[in-house]
Amino acid sequence: MNNKRVILVTGPPGNQRDEYLQRAIKGMDDVGYHHVFEYMQQVALNYFKTNLTRENVFDIPKNRLEDIRDASIDEIAKRINLSNKKIEIISTPARFKVKPIRDYYSGFVDGLNESHIEKLKPDMIILFIDDLLRVRRNLRQDEHWKRHITPDLKTLAEWRQSAQEQIENYITQVESSPKYSKYIDYIIFAREHPVETFQDLIKGEKPRVYLSYNITGREKDKAMGKIEKLREELSKHFVCIDPYAIKDWDIVTAYDEALEKGSDKVSVKIKYREETLKEELYANEVGNCIDLIRSQIVSRDLRLIDFCHAIFVYHWAEAPSYGVMAEVIHATTKASAYVYVVYPYKKRLSPFFEHYAGEKIFHGDDENQLIEKAISAMVNEYKTWPKYVKAQKNMR
């Protein structure tokens, strides 16, 4: 089928990728799901007479395990080719690091390589990630992983960074190969997004919009309720990508507060859609990786803008935001993304902000009306967004 969409979902372990995928595709017609490790278990038993389990995976010689994985990828590619489903999803880890064991002298384990991408021919690769603290909790509760890693925050942040670098490098290498003429769409996607957002993402029909807003400020808690409603409104028409779906900023804020108090403990409280997580961390553990966490916030958010067709700025605070300003500048100077701004105050924003944001700035004291006007403008104009037009051509 020419209209079939093949989507590879990957990322570091411990992010509950497969649990999320199962919820997301439940009730979706014409969606195939291929869990690579489950295929490996079947292939190992049928062709290698090996009983492969999560518990003994590192007991099997590395070269044999790679043969099993390669044969599994071949089988998945064959089944997808014969399938009549509209969407096919493949799920597998990317790169991660464990304590050195047997053949894994460096500790690095690669769940994918370039040849697998060439065989699977994905239309889209989704790097699936979650918050560091939730990943650590998941790994600590898993007896298998507890034997192979020490889930400190720096290790998990490095996992995330390594997986992203690996996948982006693979995409560059594969697309530059003369044997491969297919464009690969790519995005980083956080588990905290509603499953409906993921469903819209894999269908590939709605434009993608990055939601930019002030994450700090005295009225933040009050503003978050408005942002949730705004996200719901945008999601009626667009795939709404929220950078705060990864809440690393809460760790940064809690660490800064601990430094100001001279405390050796960092108290973090993170509110998710379905739960609230409270953690008491040692300041030296957070300090050991705080530079990496801070740099990932910036690099990841700017990459998300690269993946989106437009950016919607909800500038709920009267005072300027360094982060919002940086995102607007990146959107217009690097990412070629259209910018729409809602500023619910009668006065105008800084002329420097206006210079980069352009003409689509809606300001005044009727916030609901401003949001309605901005979204209406986006709905009327999205078919002219250059990045969206190009994305639609690449899908054909």
pLDDT of amino acid 179: 82
pLDDT of amino acid 383: 97
Residue type, 286: V
pLDDT of amino acid 220: 81
pLDDT of amino acid 1: 42
267-292 residues labelled b (16+ CB within 10 A) or e (exposed)? ebebeeeeeeeebebebeebeebbeb
Backbone angles phi, psi at 376, to 5 degrees: -60, -40
Indicate the burial class of 63 (C-beta count within 10 angstroms; 0-12, 13-18, 19 or more).
Answer: exposed
Give the number of other Cβ atoms within 10 Å of residue 173's Cβ.
13
Domains and CATH numbers, the chain: 5-196 (3.40.50.300), 207-395 (3.40.50.450)
Percentage of the chain modeled with pLDDT above 90: 90
pLDDT of amino acid 248: 95
The pLDDT confidence band at residue 182, using thresholds 50, 70 and 90, is: confident
pLDDT of amino acid 17: 98
The tally of CA atoms less than 13 A away on the side-chain side of residue 270 is 23
The mean predicted confidence, pLDDT, of the chain is 95
pLDDT of amino acid 2: 58
The pLDDT confidence band at residue 218, using thresholds 50, 70 and 90, is: confident
What's 95's DSSP letter? E
Does the pLDDT of residue 370 top 60, yes or no?
yes
Tens digit of each residue's pLDDT (9 = 90 or more) over 87-143? 999 999 999 989 998 888 899 999 999 999 999 999 999 999 999 999 999 999 999
Tens digit of each residue's pLDDT (9 = 90 or more) over 312-358? 999 999 999 999 999 999 999 999 999 999 999 999 999 999 999 99
What's 218's DSSP letter? T
Does the pLDDT of residue 302 top 50, yes or no?
yes
Assess contact for 327 and 310: CB atoms under 8 A. no
C-alpha to C-alpha distances, 230 to 225, 318, 362, 372, 375, nearest whole angstrom: 9, 18, 15, 10, 10
Assess contact for 120 and 136: CB atoms under 8 A. no
